[in-house]
Every structure is written in C-alpha cells, then in structure tokens.
Structure 1
Amino acid sequence: MKNKQWMLRAVGVISALALGLGGLAACGNSSSAESKNGRVYYLNKKAEEQSTWVKLGKAFEKETGIPVQIQTGGTDYDSTLRSELSKKAAPTMFQADGPSFMSSFKKYAKDLSNSDIYKQLDKNYKNRVLTNDEGKPIAIPYATESYGIIYNKALLKKYFDASWSTVKSAEDINNFKALKTVADEIQAHKDEIGVKGAFSSAGLDTSSAFRYNFHLPSVPLYYEYADDGVDMTKVPSSVKGTYVKKMKNIFDLYIKDSTVEPSSLSGKTMDDSIAEFATGQAVFFQDGVWAYNQIKGQSVSDNDLGVFPIYIGAKGEENQGLNQVISNYWCVNSKVSEKDQQATEKFLNWLVTSDTALKAISQDMGLVSPFKGFDNEKYQVTNPLVVVNREYQKAGKTDVISVPTVSHQWEQNLGSAELNYAQGNGSWDDVVKVFTNDWASEYKLAYGE
C-alpha cells in the first residue's frame, strides 16, 4: 500500500457522501457527536481497506462505548483533509504519507512522545517516525509495504515453453535487458500467449498515476541517493536526475508493451489495470502487496503470483530486491478536545494490542505492521506478495528504499509530463526538467529555503 511514498491510493468503489460533504466518501459507522468518553473520527486514505476499518470501528465502539466514525478522503486526500480539519467536528486522527505532507499539516499533529502507540512501536522503527521542529514524534508508521512488477507465473510459463522465446526461466529475469526481451517477445506473440499485452494499462488518471509519479521515481532517486550518500529519510533541496533517463527504459515498456495504446492512458484507471491483470489479460503489472485483495479470487491463483524488482538498467541491479516503502503514518489531531485526543489514543493502542485488530490488520488488510504485538506467529501476513518479498530479503537481495518526494505537486507535475510524453505531446526532456527543476522550486515553497 498505500507513501513521503508517500502514496495516493484510491481504489475500489467509493460512494459519495451526502449532506454537503461533496467528494468525501462516507462509510462511517457512527456519528461524530460528542460523548462523555470522547469520540474517534478517522479520515482514512486507503479506500481499499475501508470496509475492514469500518468493522474495526464498530468492534472498538462496542467494546468501549466510544463512538467511532471512519471515512475515506476520496481521490484528493490532502484537499479533503484540509477541508475536514476546518470543521467543528474535525477528524481526531488522520493519515500522513511522509515529510512533505507533514510540512503542511504538522501544526495539527500532536506530540506522541508519551503515547502508548509510540511505546508499542518496534525499536527498529523508532527512527522512522516523522517529527516536529523540536524532534518530537508526531506521525507513527503503521505499515511497511513492498512493491515491484507483479507477474502471472502461469502466463510466463507459456512464454518460457514457446519455441520462439529467448529467456527460459524467471531466474534469468534479473535485469532490465532480460525483462525487455521477455516483454517485447510477449507483445509480439500476445495472441499465442492469450493476452492483450505484456503489461496491464499504465493508467495515468488520478486513481492510478501514483504508480508512475511516486512509486516509479523512487527507483532512480534511490540509485542517485546511494551514489551521492544522501540520507534516504530526508528531502534534499535538489536532485540531479542522474538516473531519470534510465527510468525512461521501463516507462517505455509500460506504455508500448501494453494492453492499450498510449493515447488512451489518460482515461485508464487503477481498477482497469488491476482487472486486466487479475483476469489474465496481461502478464505484468506494477504495483504492491496491497493489490492482493483486488487480485485474489479471480483467474490468477495465489500460487501463480510472483514479483520482479523494477529494473531500469542500473549497474548492479541483478542484486536488487523490491521497493520498500513506509508511506502510512497515524497522526492525532492536536486541535480537537483533550477528551477526543485521549479517546483516539486509546483507539490507536487498541489497534496494535487487541486480538480483533491484530487479526484484521495482518490477515484482512494484509499489512506488515511494525508494532510489538504483530511478532506473534498467528499475526504473520500470508499475502503471497509479502511472502515473495521475504524470499528476496532472505536471499540477500538489496531492498530499494522508497524515498520521500518533495511534494504532491511535484508528483502531479511529473505525472503530467509523463502523460504528455506517452501521448506524443511532449518529450522525455520535459520529464527530466520537471524531475530536477520542479523539485528545487517545490522545495523552496515547502521549506522556505
């Protein structure tokens, strides 16, 4: 999932909220009215997990008597959150996705130094919290996720078994050159394989663009930061774009060896892309472990799910593992009443200590969560995409750390440049300019330096 990384994920069906909330999707299970025990109102960013969050809210409310309201923020979470925070019955708890997000919302985030949720955080993740100007923790990471190029083993076997295929095993697909060979040959023989394209559609509408304006750029940024010794948990004032031309390698595969023509990408959604992969119309699909809930139960069996790293042609990528992202953080709204803050902190602690929540988060949501309670074997995630990530790590492959971007505006600008390039209305040089020039200007806007 959902990521700064850090990520904009609005998948699944979201119903429009009546009563004047406009684009806000409402799936709350209680009113936001005050109670003697305080209240909890969580504005959830991950729409694909909404139904599970509603169930958890009901269970907590039944157990404690504290009313819980769970709502999703639609496709523009930042805008929705900004609007909701201005209201009298504002969210008591919200989601952050990285440093650039917190630069805009940190005034609303409570110091959680003495909270139970901070104490429950695994010691190895204490240095991954987001902090205020005094260095106090104000955003607690609640999920670590991995992503890469998900593939269908059964369809790939059809390719390996073909007399015309050059590459004969998944083990040989450990660099960009090999991946391109496979994708190009599948595209050329798509009817024989029985697919519409090698890759599912690289949708560049708002529900899907995060895969290419946030997830994909993390690969060239990782390699640049590694070369230059840049701290991967911080946002630098500028980037050189050393590997952006190599990012073009994989982006070209996505848009050319695809189920659709590049001209249609602006209208292709996340749901379209998932459906194409899940129903066997494509062999490859760039996304993360969070996509499993949308893939399972369709034509691709769990045993046929694999994941390749996102190869771009960088030196040494044969030893590369999957991208690792922490883009999901919990914050408590410091502007609501003390009673509501206490109720919200109680809810947060319940989420990482109660059997009900531990099971739901690990098994229903499939999240790998960095709290002590999840160490128990029965709360280990069985998501097959998570299992693949563990295998890469056990094999000693190097994790690609998904680094924070400078701002959501930078991501949107990058996505627009990518779309223009895909549709033939712009050049890759325009993408490079956004990558570097817009980064520097956005940094000055966000950090005033």
Structure 2
Amino acid sequence: MFKSKKILALIMTVFMSMMLFAGCGSQEKKEVSEEKDKVEVNVFQFKVEIAKELEEAVLAYEKEHPNVKINIQTVGGGDDYGAALKAKFQSGSEPDIFNVGGPQDIKDWMNKLEDLSDQPWVDLALPGILEGATVDGKVFALPFNIEGYGFVYNKGIFEAAGIDPAKIVDYKSLEEAVKALDEKIKSGALKEKYPLLEAVFEYPAKETWVTGLHTSNAALGQEFSNSIEAFNAEKVSFKYGDGLKKLIDLQANYSSNKDQKQKLNAVDYTRQAEEGLAIERVAIIQQGNWVYGKIKGVDEKVANNLDILPMPIEGAKEDSIPVGVPMHWAVNKDSKDEVKAAAKDFLNWLYTSDTGKDYIVNKFYFIPPLKGFDNLEPKDPLGKAVKRYAEDGKTIPWVFMGYPTGWGMEILGNDIQKYLAGEYTWEELISDAKAQWEKMR
C-alpha cells in the first residue's frame, strides 16, 4: 500500500513537471511568435520643429497598435535634409517613411516611391493640394501641411514705435516702417521697454534654405505660376530680380551686422529665431508659421504677440505672402509588405483619427492639408495669420519645389552669401544663377 502511494506520487510529480515544461515551451513559442509579429517602421524626417511632438504622437499610436514599433530620426533645421536622405539610402539603411518636396523630388525619388492613390486620406485632400506629388494620375506622397511665410514681427515693438502694421501693404510702406523703427532703436526710445533690442532684422544667410529657397520664391513665385511650371522651365529670367535685391538688401542693411554683412553668413536659424526674435533682440525675421513653437519654447508671451507682414517684391503682387506645401510623407516601395502596411496605417491615423488630428493642429501647429478638421482651427497667432492671408486671396505660390535639384540652396543660396560678403556683384549673382539653372535643368 505504502509502495503504491510512493509510485503514484512519483508519477504525479513527473506528470506535473512535463506539464510545466510543456507550458514553458508553449509560453516561449507564444513570446517568440508575438516578437516575430512585431512590425518595425523607420521614419527619416526633416521637420525639427515637431521632433518632440512627433515622438509623442508615435507613442500614442503604438499604444493603440502594440504590434508596431516606430523609430523616428530627424535631420533638418541647419542640416541639408536632401543630402542626408541620399546618404541614408546609400548606406543601405533605407527608411520606410521619408520626406520629399515637390515635382523635382518626386522625379528624383520615383523609383523608391510607393503608389498611395488608394489611401483613405486622398479623397480628403483640399483642392490642388496633391498636384506636386501626382504623376500620371497617381498620388505618391501625403502633404505635410499648408504653410505660409513672410516677415514675422513683434506687435508690441511696432506699437511702442508708433508704427501701424495695417498700413504696410507694399515695398515702399515696408521700407518706410523699417527706417522709422531703426531710428527709434538708434535713438534709444525703445530701450527702457525693450533693453535687448538692437536691430530691426536678423537675416540667417548661413541657412541657404531661407535665402536660396524662401527669399527667392518671393520673386520667382511671381515669375512662375506654380511649382510644375518652374519644374518644366528650361530657363529662369529673374523678371523681378531688382525687387529681390531690394528685399535682401533691406534685411541686410537693417540687421545687427549691417556694417559687416559678411557676418550674416554665420547667422543660423537658432540665432535668428530663438536668440533673436524670441528674446526681443530684433523686431522682424523672415520666417513662417512653423516658427511659433520655437519662439514659444523660449517665451510664450512673445510668441503669442506675433503676426506676419507681407513679403513685397516691388513691381509685382506686393501685399501677399508665399503659401504652399513644405514637404510630403512618402513610403518606401521596397520595404517589406507588412512594414509598408504599417507605415501607411500610421500616416492615415495621424491625419484622420481624432487623436492624430489633435496632434496635427494643437501640437504640431500645422494648418491641415485635408478636409475633416472643421472643429480644429489654428489657435496660434501665426497659423491664424496664414489662414487670414489665404482667405483674403493675398498669397503667391511656392515654386521652389520645382527648382532644379540643389539649385536653390547650393547655387543661389551660396551666390547670395558671396554677394553679402562682397565677392559677387548683384549682376554676377544673377548671371551665375541663370547659367546654373540651364546647366542643371
């Protein structure tokens, strides 16, 4: 009897051990399976202003989609995103989601672009917003947002100087206001209220995307009707070249480096925005609504007291600002099918889900490129300003997305630096820029 119980106990022990071992094996298989099903999406993006907020949006998405892991790498601001993207692909570490500009970028990257025509957001696109990313009726990228830029200014400084911004509607009135403000700064009349204020402008010539793309677009955006026309143009005439010169000279001559303009070539985005406008060291900077978050990060009170003046090219449409799509999201067609599916789902979630839309408007401070954001109007003053210009029809198109690859930043931007340093005359700048356009096209 006793021996039988011992045998039974032994059998039970062995059985339980086998069951436990089997359970562990099953658990291990389950964990391996779950890990195997985990999809990883690598994103390589350029918008430094939303880097932190995009990471937060990713965490929100991953919480709803636990089988997806999204890695974000941001390269932009003072760095050349286009060059960095090429290097990324050449390294063999191809991103699954990356950014492309307009027609020229679409052409350059066509062999890597997934056709996104069947995505839910396509039918929600605002009229004309997909033109720069459409080829032969197929849509290859999702627009980031709608942005506008011009002369972002501190309303408080203008009020203290007795300048009415509503009267600045053309180049002449802008120049008069700048001269009046400069006199107030030089006389010390604003010193008590704005002790750090030293100049009207800060012009970051180191940032060739500011000069070679954005400043130039104020003129070329009136020579070409859209980025497609610029893309198809064999030549550039600089019809409004004199007006462009005046706009550049105005910013340089009334900057903190007016007596040594070559020093402007060392001024970067941070010096202009966070160490310039945000601390009220300067009153105006050439930037767009995307700069709100950077200024807010330094001084929210200053950020909420900003607005945008026109960016007038004399002899052209002078009471307007350039408005357009800054960049697009693209999906790498050579990524694995399950990765592409997750990449598309994330982008769709970001622009169509309630959570995603909240990030787009209230965290990224984007003006949406799609319908369906009716109850999410821009809350920041610069977003409101761009919307105001758009509603009033006071806009010119962004055509720099149609410039020959590298021409805006590497040719024109560098030529502007040479002009500021006294190495080029304006005529030499125009001559070189024209010749290089034809050669690169």
TM-score bin (small chain): 0.7 to 0.9
- Going from structure 1 to structure 2, the CA distance change for 1:397 and 1:345 (only over 3 Å counts) comes to closer
- 1:232: how far off? 4.8
Q: Indicate whether 1:259 and 2:256 are aligned.
A: yes
- Going from structure 1 to structure 2, the CA distance change for 1:255 and 1:300 (only over 3 Å counts) comes to farther
Superposition pairs of residues 6-155 of structure 1, within 5 angstroms: 35-64=36-65, 65-74=67-76, 75-87=79-91, 89-119=93-123, 121-125=124-128, 127-132=130-135, 134-155=136-157
Match of 1:182 among 177, 180, 205: 177
Match of 1:402 among 361, 383, 398: 398
SS at 2:180 equivalent: helix
- Which consecutive unaligned segments of at least 5 residues does structure 2 have? 1-34, 192-196
Equivalent pairs: percent with the same residue? Answer: 23
1:80, 1:92 → 2: CA distance? 15
Q: Look up the equivalent residue of 1:145 and give its one-letter code.
A: E
Superposition pairs of residues 253-402 of structure 1, within 5 angstroms: 253-260=250-257, 261-274=260-273, 275-296=275-296, 298=299, 301-317=302-318, 320-375=319-374, 377=375, 379-394=376-391, 396-402=392-398
Match of 1:173 among 152, 165, 168: 168
2:227, 2:405 → 1: CA distance? 18
- 1:353: how far off? 2.1
1:410, 1:242 → 2: CA distance? 17
- Going from structure 1 to structure 2, the CA distance change for 1:434 and 1:365 (only over 3 Å counts) comes to farther
Q: Look up the equivalent residue of 2:125 and give its one-letter code.
A: D
1:144, 1:321 → 2: CA distance? 16
- 1:370: how far off? 1.6
| 1:37-82 deviation digits (Å, cap 9, x = unpaired) | 5321110111121111111122222221211111113512122222
Q: Look up the equivalent residue of 1:313 and give its one-letter code.
A: E
- Going from structure 1 to structure 2, the CA distance change for 1:126 and 1:294 (only over 3 Å counts) comes to closer
SS at 1:124 equivalent: coil
- Which consecutive unaligned segments of at least 5 residues does structure 1 have? 1-33, 161-167, 444-449
- 1:315: how far off? 4.1
Contact 1:410 1:438 in 2 (8 A): no
Structure number, greater radius of gyration: 2
SS at 2:315 equivalent: coil
- Going from structure 1 to structure 2, the CA distance change for 1:309 and 1:333 (only over 3 Å counts) comes to same
TM-score of the two chains, using structure 1 as the length reference = 0.82
Contact 1:241 1:435 in 2 (8 A): no
Contact 2:261 2:421 in 1 (8 A): yes
SS at 2:141 equivalent: strand
Q: Look up the equivalent residue of 1:151 and give its one-letter code.
A: Y
SS at 2:173 equivalent: helix
Q: Look up the equivalent residue of 1:124 and give its one-letter code.
A: P
1:130, 1:397 → 2: CA distance? 23
SS at 1:307 equivalent: strand
1:129, 1:114 → 2: CA distance? 17
2:372, 2:350 → 1: CA distance? 10
TM-score of the two chains, using structure 2 as the length reference = 0.83
Contact 2:103 2:132 in 1 (8 A): no
| 1:127-162 deviation digits (Å, cap 9, x = unpaired) | 425134x442112212110110011111112222xx
1:341, 1:71 → 2: CA distance? 18
1:131, 1:303 → 2: CA distance? 37
- Going from structure 1 to structure 2, the CA distance change for 1:417 and 1:285 (only over 3 Å counts) comes to same
- Going from structure 1 to structure 2, the CA distance change for 1:425 and 1:419 (only over 3 Å counts) comes to same
- 1:374: how far off? 2.0
Counterpart for residue 30 of structure 1: none
SS at 2:369 equivalent: coil
Q: CA RMSD in A?
A: 2.3
Q: How many residues align?
A: 392
- 1:279: how far off? 0.9
- Going from structure 1 to structure 2, the CA distance change for 1:298 and 1:170 (only over 3 Å counts) comes to same
1:218, 1:268 → 2: CA distance? 20
Q: Look up the equivalent residue of 1:388 and give its one-letter code.
A: A
Counterpart for residue 440 of structure 1: 438
